[in-house]
């Protein structure tokens, strides 16, 4: 068999996707697994978005799409940025991709040369580092310890930036931790970035509307307008509107960068489904009240999950300010043995044993760049969450 490209040796299959697939396989065998590994809302897509897609299909809007996004969707995105973020982006400063992931990939592929560094606060969404590697870049992680709320300290961020740095990537509310910096904390980050004018800034704002306890969202280009001309603001419909399967992400940034990303997208996928674009425009321009209502339901789930996990021997769980994840430490479980005889020497050992013995799927913290932790998604129904957390408590009680 001919050889595969060497670049594949540098990237891994997403641990969350792998764990979700494993849970799905077990269910197909009739084994009752509760999956807390998937970052996907359990709510339905908005009815008005589905209706807009249906009307678009019936009207014949089923041809090749404009490569960078339809006029209607770009206008809706521009209104969204103005309404939610006080940012002005014109049509030539907006691109639509097949999910936020493609927007990020386009940006790296359009800008990163071999050896360029991409600074990523850690823990981080699994794909950031691998996408940087595929583009020829070198991921540089900035540890964000739990005692700082899993947020980067300005001095650590500053120390990580070198003449080789091409990008600094920010993700708040964060995956996997749910961390949300205050305005003052974002201001301090902006002050660091002002000192490094050679660096592009990417902010992944996919969870911006999932905030709790009075916390407010602040995107970097709004905090410091002087950074806007080198910032790519990434967002989408997946998390806010429960539209993961529609594959619709978008980015706002300087026109020159967007042109480069447009060129890259043209060599990969070209445009996004016209049907999805019609649905996304309706979601962005339609009623928004239900977004806060769903966020309140997530908050209730978060509180319950944090309380139940903190009652599990050996686990300590920080209460996040946003998103729909918790990132508990399992340090108190290390060195012990499960009821089934498995030795727990790492967070990977922990989640694999939890799946095999208690049929609960979570993702090891090592996959996100920080151990010994695990990521749990509470974007599932409360009854399943209660049952899963009960199984985790039992699993921990049985460790010896």
Question: Residue 312: helix, strand or coil by DSSP?
Answer: coil
Distance, C-alpha 356 to centroid of its chain: 27
pLDDT of res. 327: 98
In tens digits, what is the pLDDT along the chain, a chain of 400 residues? 899 998 888 887 777 777 777 888 888 888 889 999 988 999 999 999 999 999 999 999 999 999 999 999 999 999 999 999 999 999 999 999 999 999 999 999 999 999 999 999 999 998 999 999 999 999 999 999 999 999 999 999 999 999 999 999 999 999 999 999 999 999 999 999 999 999 999 999 999 999 999 999 999 999 999 999 999 999 999 999 999 999 999 999 999 999 999 999 999 999 999 999 999 999 999 999 999 999 999 999 999 999 999 999 999 999 999 999 999 999 999 999 999 999 999 999 999 999 999 999 999 999 999 999 999 999 999 999 999 999 999 999 999 9
pLDDT of res. 100: 98
pLDDT of res. 23: 80
Query: What does the DSSP 8-state code read for residue 356?
Result: H
pTM: predicted TM-score of the whole model, two decimal places: 0.96
- Rounded CA-CA distance 158/189 in Å is 9
φ, ψ of residue 130 to 5 degrees: the values are -70, -40
Q: Which residues pair with 360 in a beta bridge?
A: 34
Q: What residues have CB less than 8 Å from 184, skipping those under 6 apart?
A: none
Helix (H) or strand (E) segment spanning residue 105: helix 100-111
* 140-165 exposure pattern, b = at least 16 Cβ within 10 A, e = fewer: bbbebebeebbbbbbeebbebbeeeb
Q: Which residues pair with 139 in a beta bridge?
A: 118
φ, ψ of residue 145 to 5 degrees: the values are -70, 155
Structure tokens at 80: 């969204």
Query: Where do the domains of the chain lie, and which CATH numbers do they carry?
Result: 6-44+290-397 (3.90.1150.10), 63-285 (3.40.640.10)
Give me the DSSP letters along 71-96. Answer: HHHHHHHHHHHHHHH-----GGGEEE
Residues 114-157: pLDDT tens digits?
999 999 999 999 899 999 999 999 999 999 999 999 999 999 99
């Amino acid at each position: 068999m001919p050889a595969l490209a060497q670049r594949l040796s540098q990237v891994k299959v997403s641990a969350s996707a792998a764990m979700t697939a494993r849970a799905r396989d077990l269910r197909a065998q009739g084994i009752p697994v509760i999956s807390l590994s998937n970052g996907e809302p359990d709510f339905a897509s908005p009815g008005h978005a589905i209706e807009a897609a249906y009307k678009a299909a019936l009207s014949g809007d089923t041809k090749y799409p404009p490569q960078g996004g339809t006029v209607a969707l770009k206008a809706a995105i521009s209104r969204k940025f103005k309404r939610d973020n006080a940012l002005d982006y014109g049509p030539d400063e907006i691109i639509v991709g097949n999910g936020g992931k493609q927007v990020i990939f386009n940006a790296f592929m359009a800008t990163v040369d071999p050896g360029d560094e991409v600074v990523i606060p850690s823990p981080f969404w699994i794909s950031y580092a691998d996408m940087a590697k595929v583009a020829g870049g070198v991921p540089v992680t900035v540890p964000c310890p739990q005692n700082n709320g899993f947020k980067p300290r300005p001095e650590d961020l500053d120390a990580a930036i070198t003449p080789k740095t091409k990008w600094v990537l920010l993700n708040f509310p964060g995956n996997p931790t749910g961390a949300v910096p205050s305005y003052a904390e974002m201001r301090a980050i902006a002050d660091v970035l002002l000192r490094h004018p050679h660096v592009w800034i990417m902010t992944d704002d996919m969870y911006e509307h999932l905030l709790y306890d009075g916390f407010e969202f602040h995107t970097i280009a709004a905090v410091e307008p002087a950074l806007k001309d080198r910032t790519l603001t990434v967002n989408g419909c997946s998390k806010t509107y429960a539209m993961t399967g529609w594959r619709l992400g978008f980015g706002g940034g300087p026109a020159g960068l967007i042109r480069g990303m447009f060129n890259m997208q043209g060599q990969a996928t070209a445009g996004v489904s016209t049907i999805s674009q019609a649905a996304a425009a309706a979601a962005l321009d339609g009623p928004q009240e239900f977004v806060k209502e769903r966020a309140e339901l997530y908050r209730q789930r978060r509180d319950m999950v944090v309380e139940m996990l903190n009652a599990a021997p050996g686990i300590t769980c920080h209460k996040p300010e946003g998103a729909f994840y918790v990132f508990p430490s399992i340090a108190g479980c290390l060195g012990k043995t499960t009821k089934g005889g498995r030795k727990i020497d790492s967070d990977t050992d922990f989640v694999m044993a939890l799946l095999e013995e208690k049929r609960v799927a979570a993702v090891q913290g090592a996959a996100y760049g920080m151990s010994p932790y695990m990521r749990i998604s509470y974007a599932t129904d409360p009854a399943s969450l209660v049952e899963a957390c009960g199984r985790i408590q039992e699993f921990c009680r049985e460790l010896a």
